[in-house]
Structure 1
Amino acid sequence: MKNKFTIVIVLLVSAVLLLAGCGTSKSSTSGSSEDKTFKVGLEAGYAPFNWTQNDDSNGAVKIAGSAEYAGGYDVEIAKKVAEGLGKELVIVKTEWDGLVPALTSGKIDAIIAGMSPTAERKETIDFSDNYYKSNLIMVVKKGSKYEGATSIQDFKGAKVTAQLNTFHYSVIDQIEGVNKKTAMDNFPAMRVALESGIIDGYVSERPEGVSASAANENYVMVEFEEGFETSEDDTAIAVGLAKGSDLTEKINDALAGISEEERTSIMDSAIKNQPAAQ
């Protein structure tokens, strides 16, 4: 009986170990599958950096969990980075305010969304090397008294806003006597507000200003001789990454392989290909 009991115990232990081994194998396979994707978060509403469209024309990428596609400068950069990493690009459409939380919680691997590596953001996340640099402008209505502005101080008394949680909104304070309006969630909302007269102008970056004026003949981009004071980090754009991410060096290598001429060409194409509604 004692020998039989010992045999039973041995068989039971063997079975448990076998099942445990199967579980480990399955988990490992699943993890391997995850490692083959590069999940990028962007809002898909900031043309020409990123936008939403209904098909895969002009190299647009399918948005995860949606029938829609994302296109734009950021998407093209993301494709090149994913290629450099040897991974499949997955676009995760995320509201601007939710991008950093999505990154820190592990829902996405990187933010490639026209985001500036500001000192405040660097307290929470890391950034790659810059992949674009732009100047700040103002978008106003064609025919308005602000169309011919050459200095930001020409907007004294004007109703001005910018996107929520961006440095664009903070620089409005540099305009003396400005009527600073509540920050808005996204650029389509600001364009509607401009069209309806709720605001006289909104602060943006040059590529978006070019897009706005190209999309609607009632919008004009104002470039300044005496513009906003900004730091290099404010006007630069980089890939947002989790603190200590092991992807940083590899992404920097991928970005280094994109020449300035190619970056300019990608942006020119993005401006040309953006949907009219954006």
Structure 2
Amino acid sequence: MNAANASTRRDFLKASGLGAAALASSTLLSACGPSTQTANTGSSSPSAASGFGDNGTMRVGMEVAYPPYNWQTSESTDDTIPVQGQDGAYADGYDIVFAKRIGTALGLEPVAVKMEFSGLVEGLTNGVIDVICGGMTATDERRQSIDFSDPYWVGHYGLLVKKGSSYEDATSLSAFSGAAVLGQRDTLLDTVIDEIDGVNHMTPVDSVPAQLSALNQGTCDAITFDVENEKGLLVANPDLVAVQIDGSKILFQEDVPINVGIAKGHDDVLAKINDAIKSVSQDERQAAWDAVQERLPQ
């Protein structure tokens, strides 16, 4: 990890309250080359037949630092999976709910592989991980490199500002004309900013924690955020507030589907992933989301 990435991680820990233990274990895992088969080459598992997985495990790429989708904890529970290469470290969150279901469908044990969000697609194409299950949205650009499942959650975007800001009581997006608004690089959190006419679209940063740090420090007027993440973000950042216009905190037109990413050439595995996702009703998804909200790190 370079110095800039280390600083970003520290900013996240300060903003989210995950603690120093997570910082000590935040080193990125080095590439180990693409997996060509599982340990049991004679298995009838569809994953083994297609050269998917690594010795009976499914390596799941995620930040392990993006609640409520994923975060790190030191407690092993029925809701967690281990973090690869880190004793006593586990991943929890909404992504893990589906990582576990998909692992069961494929006959593989899911393990979280901690990576920067911007490196997930490359990690998948290089064979460092088997799937991305890390709050990622399928986009046309990403589809050029990898395949995606059906959505397992659909979110929406809004704006966070500091309490007492002149923008807190905005009555329309046009009120943010000229405002300095910051997003996350290589995500819709950045591209949706251009829906605001006349906005000062700042150079995006690498992570949501870096967005939060900038807003808390006053180097921007507003940041984009996942509306469904509001509870966790504001618990850790009590001086911020979500902008509400016409009774809604959903301020941008584009929905935000969350999809599983998988390397091209695994159509049989992708079909089984989609079957696993489809088997979860909308009521079950909402119940899982609500349960995750109750487990958010304080």
Q: Kindly indicate whether residue 277 of structure 2 is the aligned counterpart of residue 255 of structure 1.
A: yes
Name the structure 2 match of 1:10: none
Quote how far apart the aligned CAs of 1:51 are: 1.2
> Which of 78, 94, 100 matches 1:73?
94
Query: Structure 1 residues 221 and 179 mapped into 2: Cα distance closer, same or farther (>3 Å)?
Result: same
Which residue identity lines up with residue 100 of structure 2 in the other structure? Answer: K
Name the structure 1 match of 2:262: 241
Quote how far apart the aligned CAs of 1:223 are: 4.2
Gaps of 5+ in 2: 1-35, 42-52
Quote how far apart the aligned CAs of 1:263 are: 0.8
CA RMSD of aligned residues (A): 2.1
Q: Distance in 2 between matches of 1:250 and 1:267?
A: 22
Q: Kindly indicate whether residue 96 of structure 2 is the aligned counterpart of residue 50 of structure 1.
A: no
Q: Is the 8 A contact 1:138 1:209 kept in 2?
A: no
Q: Kindly indicate whether residue 294 of structure 2 is the aligned counterpart of residue 272 of structure 1.
A: yes
Q: Distance in 2 between matches of 1:222 and 1:58?
A: 36
> Which of 84, 87, 94 matches 1:64?
84
Name the structure 2 match of 1:167: 188
Q: Is the 8 A contact 2:105 2:272 kept in 1?
A: yes
Q: Is the 8 A contact 1:110 1:241 kept in 2?
A: yes
TM-score (norm 2): 0.77
> Which of 44, 59, 62 matches 1:39?
59
Which residue identity lines up with residue 165 of structure 1 in the other structure? Answer: D
Q: Distance in 2 between matches of 1:274 and 1:88?
A: 24
Q: Distance in 2 between matches of 1:60 and 1:143?
A: 38
Q: Distance in 2 between matches of 1:28 and 1:244?
A: 14
Q: Distance in 1 between matches of 2:98 and 2:244?
A: 26
Quote how far apart the aligned CAs of 1:57 are: 4.8
Name the structure 2 match of 1:3: none
Which residue identity lines up with residue 83 of structure 2 in the other structure? Answer: I
Q: Distance in 2 between matches of 1:89 and 1:136?
A: 29
TM-score (norm 1): 0.82
Query: Structure 1 residues 150 and 114 mapped into 2: Cα distance closer, same or farther (>3 Å)?
Result: farther
Which residue identity lines up with residue 112 of structure 1 in the other structure? Answer: C
Q: Is the 8 A contact 1:130 1:237 kept in 2?
A: yes
Q: Distance in 2 between matches of 1:244 and 1:105?
A: 13
Quote how far apart the aligned CAs of 1:31 are: 5.6
Report the structure number with the largest CA radius of gyration.
1
Q: Which moved more, 1:147-156 or 1:194-203?
A: 147-156
> Which of 162, 185, 201 matches 2:206?
185
Q: Distance in 2 between matches of 1:150 and 1:134?
A: 22
Q: How does 1:89-238 map to 2 (within 5 A)?
A: 89-225=110-246, 227-230=251-254, 235-238=256-259
Gaps of 5+ in 1: 1-26
Q: Distance in 1 between matches of 2:164 and 2:37?
A: 63
Q: Is the 8 A contact 1:137 1:224 kept in 2?
A: no
Aligned length: 247
Q: Is the 8 A contact 1:137 1:209 kept in 2?
A: no
3-state SS, counterpart of residue 59 of structure 1: coil
Quote how far apart the aligned CAs of 1:184 are: 1.1
3-state SS, counterpart of residue 267 of structure 1: helix
Q: Distance in 1 between matches of 2:76 and 2:166?
A: 41
3-state SS, counterpart of residue 39 of structure 1: strand
Q: How does 1:6-45 map to 2 (within 5 A)?
A: 30=39, 32=41, 34-45=54-65
